[in-house]
Amino acid sequence: MKCAWVLLVAFASLSAYYVYLPLPSTISEPWKLMVLDAVFRCAQDLSNLVHYFGFVHHLRVLSFITGFFDKLDAESCENVKVTDTVFDGIPIRIFDPVEKWDKTLKRGVLYIHGGGWALGGARMRSYDQLCRAVAEGVNAVVVSIEYRLLPDAHFPEQFNDALHVTKYFLQPHVLAELSIDSSRVAISGDSAGGNLATAVCQQLIRDGNAINKIKLQALIYPVLQVLDFNTPSYQQNMDMPILPRFVMAKYWLHYLNGSYKYVDTVLANNHTSFDISQAVALRERLNWSSLLPSGIQKHYKPVVQPMGTPEVIQEIPAIFDVRASPLIAEKESLKLMPKTYILTCEFDVLRDDGLMYAKRLEDAGVEVTRDHFEDGFHGCMIFATWPLYFSVGARTRDNYIKWLDENL
Ligand SMILES: *[C@@H]1O[C@H](CO)[C@@H](O)[C@H](O)[C@H]1NC(C)=O
Ligand SMILES: *[C@@H]1O[C@H](CO)[C@@H](O)[C@H](O)[C@H]1NC(C)=O
Ligand SMILES: *[C@@H]1O[C@H](CO)[C@@H](O)[C@H](O)[C@H]1NC(C)=O
């Protein structure tokens, strides 16, 4: 009996140790977030363990675990007709609001889900519910893209999938078939999906066509650059759930088909040091000393190494590819970008990616709505329904939908 108590206490203390994480008091519902983070870490640790023993790639295990709990078949409900189909060979899920009496054209939204180019999916419950909410709230046809993921696909394949679906969707006959007003189409995405959404917009500009067919872009805590892992937000939120800095660095390396052995190298900004000539010019485009207001910079200092690790650029040339890091696009392209909404969260390593992009777009003359959440954390918008409900999740979702409704 005594022994059982000792075991129980030991187990409880171990669990508490695993779950407990000091969090800022101003973050939305810290205890709930702690538990959510522990569940995520547990799934990650389990995947790494399976990977370690050489059974299956850890991302496949993680995908399986999240998919197991989170998959949803295409089920229409009273207000939204849901269909799985393909555009240009790439699977998509269409959410079509049912307006029985209304014969006028609807608005259109292309949605690109997040998940580090590795996780998530148009068929996942959280994204399915988000797209339903957008379809209903905006009375828009939402096309959610099921692009290929890591470890099966690497950059630029995710990007190309998103680009191909976008080009297919923008064809007049496709829009007409879906009863969409071709002058009222938006592209949108969260996290890695925000990266793909804006990279696709920029590509349409570089291709010299079709960008005028996109009225708006709406980016939710987007990932926008791989050149500086020491922005004030990367420094401030280094250990913040659910996206610590080293996890983001690993997603980046994996996306760009580089080895994880470079994690410490990139975290030290050794890939954009002064002895790497290409880096110097590009770093000006993400110079946060001039792009961010001083209140955001706080006491943080830029990390610019005089000498770095040039071999990493030979190994991973995509580090300087604008299709991977849309923040470093030249001003001439940015001038042609559509009206933009950028949502950022205070407790997110990617906060400054979004804030710097907002500033660069504004400087190029683009109309930008910045929507910053002081109690937000990375990924919060998909936690807006039971059982994973956070008040900041619901507030971010509502603001986003309201902006789309008022501007599209
Ligand atoms: C990724 O790198 C491996 C070799 O390390 C190579 O075989 C493969 O083609 C690369 N994939 C892409 C998409 O570049
Ligand atoms: C960044 O901007 C600051 C302030 O305008 C300037 O002093 C610094 O030289 C710039 N750094 C780079 C790498 O362009
Ligand atoms: C960064 O580069 C310097 C100079 O080459 C090297 O001494 C240092 O070990 C590197 N740091 C990392 C973490 O790669």
Domains of the chain: 68-225+323-407 (3.40.50.1820), 232-320 (no CATH)
Among 67-76, 84-93, 236-245, 297-306, the least confident range: 67-76
pLDDT of residue 39 exceeding 90, the answer is no
pLDDT of residue 122 exceeding 90, the answer is yes
- At 342 the pLDDT is 98
- For ligand 1, say whether the CB of 154 is within 6 Å of any of its atoms: yes
Q: Classify residue 228 by burial, with Cβ atoms within 10 Å: 0-12, 13-18, 19+.
A: buried
Candidates 99, 126, 132; CA nearest to 114 is: 126
Structure tokens at 262: 């470079």
pLDDT tens digit sequence for 160-202 = 999 999 999 999 999 999 999 999 999 999 999 999 999 999 9
Is 191 a catalytic site residue? Answer: yes
Mutate to test the pocket of ligand 3, among 270, 271, 313 (most ligand atoms within 8 A of CB): 270
Atom nearest to 155 CA in ligand 1: 13
- For ligand 3, say whether the CB of 264 is within 6 Å of any of its atoms: yes
Mean per-residue pLDDT over the chain, rounded: 93
Which is catalytic among the residues 191, 233, 273, 325?
A: 191
Ligand 2 pocket (Cβ < 6 Å) reads 283-284, 287, 289-290
Q: What is the mean pLDDT of residues 335-361?
A: 98
pLDDT tens digit sequence for 269-283 = 999 999 998 898 899
Q: How confident is the model at residue 308 (pLDDT cuts 50, 70, 90)?
A: very high
Q: How confident is the model at residue 101 (pLDDT cuts 50, 70, 90)?
A: low
Residue 269 CA to ligand 3 center (angstroms) comes to: 9
Percent of the chain clearing pLDDT 90 (strictly above): 75
- At 211 the pLDDT is 73
Among 18-22, 100-104, 106-110, 133-137, the least confident range: 100-104
Q: How confident is the model at residue 42 (pLDDT cuts 50, 70, 90)?
A: confident
Structure tokens at 232: 């004030």
- At 10 the pLDDT is 67
- At 116 the pLDDT is 97
Q: How confident is the model at residue 58 (pLDDT cuts 50, 70, 90)?
A: confident
- At 385 the pLDDT is 87
Percent of the chain clearing pLDDT 70 (strictly above): 97
- At 289 the pLDDT is 96
Q: Alpha-carbon distance 255 to 274, whole Å?
A: 25
Q: Name the more confident of 296 and 42.
A: 296
Residue 222 CA to ligand 3 center (angstroms) comes to: 29
- At 76 the pLDDT is 82
Q: Classify residue 39 by burial, with Cβ atoms within 10 Å: 0-12, 13-18, 19+.
A: middle
Question: Are residues 116 and 190 in contact, defined by beta-carbon separation less than 8 angstroms?
Answer: no
Is the N-terminal amide bond of 97 cis, ω within 30° of 0? no
Q: What is the mean pLDDT of residues 127-136?
A: 96
